[in-house]
Amino acid sequence: MNRNNLLKILKNCEKNKEIVRIYLKYEDNYYYYIPIKINEEFFLGTEEEDFLLDGYSIRRIKDIKSAEPRDDLTSTIIKEEGLLENLIIPEIDLNSWENIFSSLSKINQNIIIEDEYNEEFWIGKIIDIKRDYILFKHFDADGIWSEEPIKIGYNIVTSITFNSRYVDVFSKYV
């Protein structure tokens, strides 16, 4: 799918508050999102699964292989259940990774950062924001925090997730 058609579909779904099915370059699975904010480089959406909206994800446009509107009974159910009426739009500046992380640091919550091409996953908090990378303190599957923050370059970040059930519940216990 060419970039112009992709952006047109995403922006149309954003405008109409429609679910979009997104296929990514680094995996065979697809995801359902309700697009919230889109620019030439980044996509901010809330993920839909089993009639639930679960947090927010920021993804790079260049990693999206294709997208198509989801026009089925699920879309009708989501609207009829009023899930879109209560959708909160977070104040995230999508102009650059640096701006995105600055916006997220103001929320002051744990987030997930992923490099999905290399199957890397970190959950934790932003410590410092630099021009080309962030310092990030993370915890492992046992809830043990790293002693020192790690450096994560913007060039490897494929997605950020925040306010999701996974992040919020796990964070209560660390």
pLDDT of 83 reads 86
Helices (H), 17-137: 73-80, 97-107
Spatial CB neighbours of 120, under 8 Å, sequence gap ≥ 6: 114, 156
pLDDT value at residue 87: 84
Q: What is the CATH number of domain 3-80?
A: 2.30.30.100
Q: Which of 65, 82, 69 is nearest to 35 (CA)?
A: 69
Q: What angle do CA 74, 58, 95 make, to 5 degrees?
A: 130
| Domains of the chain, residue spans | 3-80, 97-172
Identical fold at 3-80 and 97-172? yes
Tens digit of each residue's pLDDT, the chain (174 residues): 999 999 999 999 999 999 999 999 999 999 999 999 999 999 999 999 989 899 999 999 999 999 999 988 988 898 898 888 878 889 999 999 999 999 999 999 999 999 999 999 999 999 999 999 999 999 999 999 999 999 999 999 999 999 999 999 999 999
How far is it, in rounded angstroms, from Cα 58 to Cα 38? 10
Non-local (6+) Cβ contacts of 106 within 8 A are none
What are the two backbone dihedrals, phi and then psi, of residue 172, each rounded to the nearest 5 degrees? -65, -20
Q: Which CATH number fits the domain 97-172, given the four candidates 2.60.40.2310, 2.30.30.100, 3.40.630.30, 3.40.50.460?
A: 2.30.30.100
> pTM here?
0.94
